[in-house]
Amino acid sequence: MKKPSLFDVVELLINLPEAKQFIGSQGSIVECFDDGKYEIEFSNEDGETTALCTLSEQQFIVVWQAKTKTWLSVSERLNAVINNLSEDKQQELLNFARFLHQVS
């Protein structure tokens, strides 16, 4: 998994109803704390901040890296999501992927 860095764009893996942000919402890392938490800024189409949330690395995935100025591939993003799953859920996903491969 790509280590989150300042100004990376991230995508939520959880719902944050109190902040009106939901799975798939994208925001930018604006602060990296020593305890492994990150301050994520969410904004609207006009660039106005709509929420500022402190999150752990397990609550989001990096989708764009500021350092390289590149979007992560679908397989890199999928791998990041899988790494956040329990062993049982990973096995379930592997079985589903096998099923998809069989029917394609």
* pLDDT digit string, tens, across residues 39-87: 999 999 999 999 999 999 999 999 999 999 999 999 999 999 999 899 9
Mean pLDDT of the chain: 95
Element (H, E) at 101: helix 87-103
- How much is the pTM? 0.88
Residue 27: which of 46, 57, 53 has the closest Cα? 53
Distance of alpha carbon 21 from the chain centroid: 13
**Tokens 């390289």 correspond to what residue?**
68
Virtual CA dihedral for 84, 36, 47, 1, nearest 10 degrees? -40
The confidence score (pLDDT) of residue 18 equals: 96
Asked if the model's pLDDT at residue 3 lies above 90, the reply is no
The confidence score (pLDDT) of residue 103 equals: 86
Asked if the model's pLDDT at residue 1 lies above 80, the reply is no
What is the length of the chain?
104
The confidence score (pLDDT) of residue 73 equals: 96
